[in-house]
Structure 1
Amino acid sequence: MSEHYYSKETKTSSEERTWNFELLGHDFTFTTDNAVFSKREVDFGSRLMIEVFNEPGIGGDFLDLGCGYGPIGLSLAKSFENRHVFMVDVNSRALGLAKQNAAANHVKNVTIKESDRLDGIEGHKFASILTNPPIRAGKQVVHSMFEEAEEALLDEGELWVVIQKKQGAPSAKKKLEELFGHTEIVEKQKGYYILKAKKFD
C-alpha cells in the first residue's frame, strides 16, 4: 500500500527537521518529518485560515481535524487561551510531532489524540471545527469528514474549511450547503478558498 500523510502508520525513514515560524503574532518552533503534510513550512492554506479565523459567539472547545504536526491547533490554543483545543489525526508520526511541538511551545490547553476522522472523540461537541482536509484521500473521505463535523458541532457552532479551487472548492461548498443550508466564502487568495458553515438546529 502506498503511504500518505493521511495513512495511520508509515515506514518512510525518519528525518526530523526543526524550524521557526510566526503565526498570529506568536513565534513557534516546529519539528516536522518525512511523511507528514507540508514538512518544510506552514502551508499557505493553513496560514490563511488561521489568519482569517474568528472566534465564535458561543462557548465551547475547538477541534483541529487532521492536525498534522499541529500549526492550526497550536496557534489557536496560543491565541485563545480561554478555549481548549482538541487536535486529532490518523497519522501516528504526525501525532507524535504535534505532542512534541505542543511541549516545545509551552501550549497546555490542548488534547492531542489519534482519531480516524472523528471516531476517537465521539460524543464530544465543539464550538468551532477547523480542517485542511486530506484532498488526496478522495472526495468521499472529505465529504464524510464534513458530515461527521456537522454532527459534532454545538448549535451555532462553525465549521471552517480551507480548500483549493482546483482541488474541489466548488464541490466542497455545495456539500456544505447541503449539510448546513448556507456556506460563506470568508476569503479567496491564490486559488485557496476559506469556507465557513454555521450550524443551526
Structure 2
Amino acid sequence: MAKLKSLMSCAANRLQQASGLDQTEARIEIRALMQHSLGGVNHAWLIAHGDDTVTDALRVRFESLLARRIQGEPVAHILGRREFYGRDFAVTPDTLIPRPDTEILVETALDRIPPDQACEILDMGTGTGAIGITLALERPHAQVTILDYSEAALAIARENARQLSAHNVAALHSDWFSAVQGQRFDLIVSNPPYVEADDPHLQQGDLRFEPITALASGTDGLDDIRRIVAHAPMHLKPSGWLIIEHGYNQGEAVRSIFSGHYFANVHTVQDLAGHDRVTLGQLT
C-alpha cells in the first residue's frame, strides 16, 4: 500500500508531464487536490501524515480529481474555490478565475481609498466579486457597488459577499454603466475583457474553461476598455480615480485612451514580473 507522500509525489510528476507546469506549480496543485480529497485538511496535516497508508477510498477520490486536472480542467473549477487576497472565493465556469496579478489592481485601489472615511466605489464586470468584495472588506467605511452583465456570475458574487460578510456591498445586474445612470463614485475599478478575439491562448490551458465574454474584447482586445474610459467621467466625482487592469502589452494604448478622455495623472503600474498590468487616471 502506498504512503500519502509517495502518492502525491508520483501524482505531481504525472501532472507536470501532462500539463507542462513547473515542478513547484504541480506540487501546489496536487497538494490542493489531496487536501480537498481528505475533506479540507491543511498543509501541516499533510506533512504530519505523510507516512500514512492511503486507503482505497481515498485513492479513488484523489485519482478522480487528478484525472480531471490532467484533462485540463482548472483546479479552481475542480475545487469550486480560489484564494484571492487571503480569502476563499467560490468559483464556477460562469466566472473568470481570480488571478494573483489582479491583486495589483486591488493594492493600487487601496492606496487611493482612505481607511477611515466614507466613500463610494464601483467594481465593473465583477465576476466572482473578488475585487469589489476585497475592497469592501479592507475598507469597511466604503460603500461598494459591484456590477456584472452575467446573471450567473452575479449570483456567485452575491454568495461570495454573503459568505465573507461583506455587508457594505450592493450587487446589480448591468451592461457596464446602464444600472448606475446618474450616480457618481469616488473610485471605479474594473478587470474587463482585454484579450484579442483571435488570440490563440483562448484555446489553451485554463482559458478554455472560462467564459469567452469575460476574456475577449474585439480585434485588439480594447473595445470594452474604450467604452469604460469614455463613459467613466460621467460617473466619477471630481478628482475621482479610474483604475483598469489590462494585458502586459497594452499599457501604452490604454494610457492613450485615458489621456483622450479628461484624465490626468495617467500612469501604469507593473506586476511582479515587471509587465504593465494596471493603468489609472484621475478625473480633471
What TM-score range do you get, normalising by the shorter chain? 0.7 to 0.9
Change (3 A) 1:16 1:105: farther
Q: Are 1:194 and 2:278 counterparts? A: yes
CA contact (8 A) 1:162 1:192 kept: no
- Give 1:154's aligned residue: 237
Q: Structure 2: which amino acid aligns with 1:19?
A: R
Q: How far does residue 17 in structure 1 lie from its aligned partner after superposition? A: 4.3
| TM-score, with structure 1 as normaliser | 0.81
- Give 1:109's aligned residue: 168
**Bigger Rg, structure 1 or 2:** 2
Q: Are 1:173 and 2:255 counterparts? A: yes
Q: What CA distance in whole angstroms lies between the structure 1 residues aligned with 2:168 and 2:127?
A: 17
Aligned residue runs from structure 1 range 23-34, under 5 A: 23=85, 27-34=86-93
Q: Structure 2: which amino acid aligns with 1:116?
A: D
Q: Structure 1: which amino acid aligns with 2:81?
A: W
Gaps of 5+ in 1: 1-14
- Give 1:52's aligned residue: 108
CA deviations 1:175-200 (Å, max 9, x no partner) are: 00111144122334432422110012
Change (3 A) 1:90 1:22: closer
Q: How far does residue 103 in structure 1 lie from its aligned partner after superposition? A: 0.5
Q: Are 1:19 and 2:81 counterparts? A: yes
CA deviations 1:129-153 (Å, max 9, x no partner) are: 0111111122233201111122211
Q: What CA distance in whole angstroms lies between the structure 2 residues aligned with 1:108 and 1:44?
A: 24
Q: What CA distance in whole angstroms lies between the structure 1 residues aligned with 2:132 and 2:113?
A: 15
- Give 2:94's aligned residue: 35
- The answer to which structure has the higher strand fraction is 1
Gaps of 5+ in 2: 1-76, 195-215
Q: What CA distance in whole angstroms lies between the structure 1 residues aligned with 2:130 and 2:144?
A: 12
Q: What CA distance in whole angstroms lies between the structure 2 residues aligned with 1:59 and 1:153?
A: 15
Q: What CA distance in whole angstroms lies between the structure 1 residues aligned with 2:252 and 2:99?
A: 21
Change (3 A) 1:86 1:106: same
- The answer to which structure has the higher helix fraction is 2
Q: What CA distance in whole angstroms lies between the structure 2 residues aligned with 1:56 and 1:75?
A: 13
Q: Structure 2: which amino acid aligns with 1:55?
A: R
Q: How far does residue 122 in structure 1 lie from its aligned partner after superposition? A: 0.8
Q: How far does residue 16 in structure 1 lie from its aligned partner after superposition? A: 7.7
Aligned residues: 179
- Give 1:70's aligned residue: 129
CA contact (8 A) 2:118 2:141 kept: no
- Give 1:10's aligned residue: none
Deviating above 6 A after TM superposition, structure 1's stretches of 4 or more consecutive aligned residues are none
Q: Are 1:84 and 2:143 counterparts? A: yes
Q: What CA distance in whole angstroms lies between the structure 1 residues aligned with 2:154 and 2:79?
A: 16
CA contact (8 A) 1:45 1:163 kept: no
Q: How far does residue 59 in structure 1 lie from its aligned partner after superposition? A: 5.2
Identity across the alignment (%) = 20
- Give 1:9's aligned residue: none
Q: What CA distance in whole angstroms lies between the structure 2 residues aligned with 1:87 and 1:126?
A: 12
